[in-house]
Amino acid sequence: MKRGHPKSAVKAEPAKVGIPQIAELAGVSIGTVDRALHARKGVSERTRRRVLQIAQRVSYTPNLAARMLRVGRANVKIGVCIPRETHFFYDQLRDGILDEGRRFESLGAEVLYRPIEKLGAGECERVKEMLQSGVNALIITPGDPHCIRPLIDEAEAGGTRVVCAASDAPESSRSSVVCVDPDLGGRLAAEMMGWAVAPGAKVAVVTGMLRTEDHRKKTEGFCKVFPRYCHGGSVVEVVEGHEDNDETFQRCLDVLERFPDIAGLYVNIVTCLPVCHALRARALAGRVRLIATDLFEEMVPFFEKRTIHASIYQRPYVQGQTAVRLIVEHALHGRPIPPAYYLNPAIVMRSNLYLFRETRHLKPVSRENPAATEQATAAETVPALDEQVVA
């Protein structure tokens, strides 16, 4: 006769520990545990540490299979609200978003592209529309962070992840921002300008709108450190052109007339062509050092004629790719979204002008220079290790 195993000899299946159990042990809400585990805002450092310690103690691991079942096909719906204006930049950002979205279509990713005509204009209404359409993630470029903040907070509170691209809304509860650190961009431009002009030089900054986080922080970064790199140098004017070609042109003409001895201009937005035309109108092209931002085909003649001394390239295509990837990998695999993902900027000068995505079709990369070919190819891929991820 077969003898049964005593009950004490049968190993009981360990109980599954999940977020509700961690919340009970920590004495906090389920939402607080979720924010702590995924490094999101809204949790004090003391609470975050306690939740993580409890999760480690009970050997908590996310149920990825269940997460995949919840997401399912076509349930990762990403709303995209970026401007159409300054198409030289935003077209690249858009292409990065859409190309990366297509790569994840088989995993259930869907991109809903709903642009606005101008930075900051109508963005609140467009975001409201997308939230009502059932998106569970958003990629936006905040033109007016104060205005858009309540909607971002509402979206995050309802479980919709918001990733800012190219500019930030830092006071909101957004999940992340993907960009070149604007303060770094401004400081980098200041250092380059300091090399290019003589001690005691007068320079000016041309920007879009100081209410926009990206424009403001670049301007502040430049103004703060330029005197360190140029002994006796000063920033005599900050020009807000509101990314309007005519306004920027007229305001630059005015600055060049009021400061005939100006030595340098830093344009921290993509709208640099009206600045180039203003320099030519005042017969100052090539004499005033111009440091621009990003790159597009129409800038090439101004590089070749030395009207543009250098440009700080923000890799808009890769910004778009990265924003989509952070969202999809979080939704499908539970990977935490870092609070900020800063890309490493590149410097564009005449010697490397044709290595970038926007200009490679104008002049083939030399086959005798494998390093150049490798660099050009790398410009189209999402970086893995060379960026500063702020966790």
Higher pLDDT pick, 376 / 211: 211
Asked whether the predicted pLDDT for residue 71 surpasses 70, the reply is: no
Q: Which of 194, 163, 26 is nearest to 101 (CA)?
A: 163
Cα–Cα distances in angstroms (integers) from residue 204 to residues 13, 115, 220, 266, in the given order = 70, 32, 12, 6
Residue 39, pLDDT score = 62
Place of tokens 């159409």: 84
Residue 86, pLDDT score = 63
β-pair type (234-240, 310-313): unpaired
Residue 293, pLDDT score = 97
pLDDT tens profile 240-269 = 999 899 999 999 999 999 999 999 999 999
pLDDT tens profile 108-122 = 899 999 999 988 889
pLDDT tens profile 120-162 = 889 999 999 999 998 999 999 999 999 999 999 999 999 999 9
Cα–Cα distances in angstroms (integers) from residue 322 to residues 4, 81, 384, in the given order = 58, 16, 10
Residue 163, pLDDT score = 98
Asked whether the predicted pLDDT for residue 9 surpasses 50, the reply is: no
Q: Mind listing the domains of the chain with CATH numbers?
A: 16-61 (1.10.260.40), 69-179+316-344+384-390 (3.40.50.2300), 182-313 (3.40.50.2300)
Q: What band does 70 get if pLDDT is binned at 50, 70 and 90?
A: very low
pLDDT tens profile 32-68 = 888 787 666 678 878 888 888 888 788 776 554 444 4
Q: What band does 217 get if pLDDT is binned at 50, 70 and 90?
A: very high
Q: Which of 81, 178, 168, 90 is nearest to 127 (CA)?
A: 81
pTM: 0.76
Collapse the DSSP code of 150 into the 3-class scheme (helix H, G, I; strand E, B; otherwise coil) and give the result.
Answer: helix
Residue 76, pLDDT score = 86
Residue 237, pLDDT score = 98
Cα–Cα distances in angstroms (integers) from residue 240 to residues 219, 325, 334, in the given order = 11, 34, 42
Residue 382, pLDDT score = 52
> Which stretch of 197-201, 318-322, 382-386 has the lowest confidence by average pLDDT?
382-386
Q: Going by C-beta distance under 8 Å and a sequence separation of 6 or more, which residues neighbour residue 245?
A: 271, 273, 274
Asked whether the predicted pLDDT for residue 180 surpasses 80, the reply is: yes
Residue 74, pLDDT score = 41
Residue 7, pLDDT score = 42
> Which stretch of 91-95, 110-114, 314-318, 363-367 has the lowest confidence by average pLDDT?
363-367
CB 279 within 8 Å of CB 256: yes
Q: Supply the DSSP string of 34-63, one letter for each residue.
A: HHHHTT-SSS-HHHHHHHHHHHHHTT----
Asked whether the predicted pLDDT for residue 371 surpasses 90, the reply is: no
Q: Going by C-beta distance under 8 Å and a sequence separation of 6 or more, which residues neighbour residue 20?
A: 30
In single-letter form, the type of residue at position 180 comes to: V
Q: Rounded mean pLDDT of 291-308?
A: 96
Q: How far is CA 92 from the centre of its chain?
A: 13
| 273-281 and 245-258 helices, crossing angle to 10° | 40
